[in-house]
Amino acid sequence: MAALSTTGWRTCRVCGGAVPAGDAVCPTCGQVGAVAIASIPSLPPRTRRRLRLAQLFRSLIVVGVVVGITYAIVGAVLTGPPTFADPLTTRGTYSIAPGNYTVLSGAITGEDYIDGNYTILDPVGTEILIQVYNSTSFASFVRHLPATPQYSSTEPDRGAIVFPAPYTDTFYLVFQNPYQPTSGIDQTIYIVTNYQSNVIIG
């Protein structure tokens, strides 16, 4: 049996972990019996093979951890920060019954703006009422109380949407079918909106 070194780190015969000089018990597995690195070749073949396998297994774990961390870091750098679609950047087709409305809403930072366009697909030639309310006015609007819009426009068929927010708030873009419920005029409208930041980068 090879003599144990007491002048340097040794290797546990069981798990292959490092054992400080002078310690009798492996701090990793708790087993007694450590061998100097230089004495490993003189160990019995079975013990030596088991120790080499334990060292290989430990090395593979370390390499796996390093590769995993590297993959996570490189992936995060390449993909950049997560991005989320703004609720006021949208496009879609909406059906609005006479006297009813559809709403697009979201927070807008002061001096940012919403632009876009709309097209009445059916019936062609009818008008649509577009109004933008802040959070307070919209609460009044839905209760059928007096409400002052930040923006209002009545246009036929198609038109542009441009609304610069005067301050930071949640704003509601209301598209209202202005015809009486008894008219039977159901509108189909295609709406595109984009949130545009007023911040200049660079």
Q: Hey, what are 173's tokens? A: 């873009």
User: What pLDDT sits at residue 199?
Assistant: 63
pLDDT reading at 74 higher than 70: yes
User: What pLDDT sits at residue 45?
Assistant: 77
One domain for residues 134 and 192: yes
In 34-96 the beta strands, taken as DSSP E runs, fall at 34-36, 90-96
User: What pLDDT sits at residue 70?
Assistant: 86
Q: Is 32 helix (H, G, I), strand (E, B) or coil?
A: strand
pLDDT reading at 6 higher than 50: no
pLDDT reading at 77 higher than 50: yes
Q: Which domain holds residue 49?
A: 10-79
Residues 134-179 pLDDT 10s = 999 999 999 999 999 998 888 778 889 999 999 999 999 999 999 9
Taking all residues of the chain, what is their mean pLDDT, rounded to a whole number? 84
Residues 114-132 pLDDT 10s = 999 999 999 998 999 999 9
Averaged over 60-72, what is the pLDDT?
A: 86
Chain position carrying tokens 């704003």: 171
pLDDT reading at 180 higher than 80: yes
Please report, as a single letter, which amino acid is at residue 127: E
Residues 85-117 pLDDT 10s = 577 999 999 999 999 999 999 999 988 999 999
User: What pLDDT sits at residue 12?
Assistant: 78
One domain for residues 147 and 68: no
Q: How many domains does the chain have?
A: 2
One domain for residues 19 and 104: no
**Which contacts of 164-169 are long-range, i.e. CB under 8 A and separated by 24 or more positions?**
164/111, 164/112, 164/113, 164/198, 165/108, 165/109, 165/110, 165/111, 165/112, 165/113, 165/114, 166/110, 167/110, 168/107, 168/108, 168/109, 168/110, 169/107, 169/108, 169/134, 169/135
One domain for residues 144 and 56: no
One domain for residues 183 and 101: yes
- Residue 5 within any structural domain of the chain: no
Burial 72-88 (b: 16+ CB within 10 A, else e): eeeeeeeeeeeeeebeb
pLDDT reading at 4 higher than 60: no
One domain for residues 105 and 167: yes
For the whole model, what pTM was predicted?
A: 0.58
Among 55, 79, 103, the domain-final residue is 79
User: What pLDDT sits at residue 31?
Assistant: 74
Please report, as a single letter, which amino acid is at residue 173: L
**Phi, psi of 181, rounded to the nearest 5 degrees:** -55, -30
Percentage with pLDDT > 90 across the chain: 46
Distance CA 163, CA 109 (A): 12
- Residue 1 within any structural domain of the chain: no
- Residue 68 within any structural domain of the chain: yes
One domain for residues 67 and 105: no
